[in-house]
A and B are shown apart, each in its own frame.
Chain A
Amino acid sequence: AAGVIQSPRHLIKEKRETATLKCYPIPRHDTVYWYQQGPGQDPQFLISFYEKMQSDKGSIPDRFSAQQFSDYHSELNMSSLELGDSALYFCASSLGGLYIEQFFGPGTRLTVL
């Protein structure tokens, strides 16, 4: 079965650089979520999109932006990277609905030097 695809899987950037993370949800899934998991931490919700519109927003820095495109893939854009942005970034997708499981991608491990 198709799963959530994230690219790249690993990314190394310097401070103050920009990064773009991509997420391809499971086909027919209409909702995408982004989570950030720092080292030894629990995942923290950043932002979500439903039918290409932002549906919820969490603790996402102003330096980050995201969008969902017409083909339902999503991109998380990160600018002016800081050392503290080093984390595992997960994308998850779901088919909406109240109790539907969120399927997680493998994550993008971002290291900021």
Chain B
Amino acid sequence: AQKITQTQPGMFVQEKEAVTLDCTYDTSDPSYGLFWYKQPSSGEMIFLIYQGSYDQQNATEGRYSLNFQKARKSANLVISASQLGDSAMYFCAMRGTNTGANSKLTFGKGITLSVRP
């Protein structure tokens, strides 16, 4: 079974500062993928960044980077230079391989980020 844990309460960050959103995971799969999604108040799920368990380097996508520490089973999202539009719910998710290639996503409970002007 896969489990994603996001335990931070609502996070606040000042505009233009960096913020780290925590995510820990548990799985028995030897290979897996980790994802971060953003969900603004309008409700859509927006893909931000992906990290494969065997990737040698931490993933980066523009202002988003993933601090992947495999031994600690953590995949924290770092948002640099926060913008007001970053205010949203952020979900960490993973998919494994034990059910085949087309594996479902397991989500954490999410973290609410509020960016202050």
Chain A residues closer than 8 Å to B37, beta-carbon distance: 104
Find residues 44-68 in chain A having any chain B CB closer than 8 Å to their own CB. 44-45, 48, 50, 55-56, 58
* Cα(A88)–Cα(B47), bound, Å: 17
Classify the interface of chain A: helix, strand, loop or mixed: strand
Chain B, residue nearest A51 (CB): B102
Q: Do A88 and B43 have beta carbons less than 8 Å apart?
A: yes
B interface residues, how many (CB within 8 angstroms) = 26
Question: Which 4 A-B residue pairs are closest in the complex by CB-CB distance?
Answer: A104-B45, A42-B107, A45-B104, A99-B33
Q: Which residues of B contact A (CB under 8 A)?
A: 31, 33, 35, 37, 43-47, 50, 52, 91, 95, 97, 99-110
12 of the cross-chain contacts (CB-CB < 8 Å) are A42-B108, A42-B109, A45-B105, A48-B104, A56-B99, A56-B100, A92-B105, A94-B102, A98-B31, A99-B52, A101-B35, A106-B44
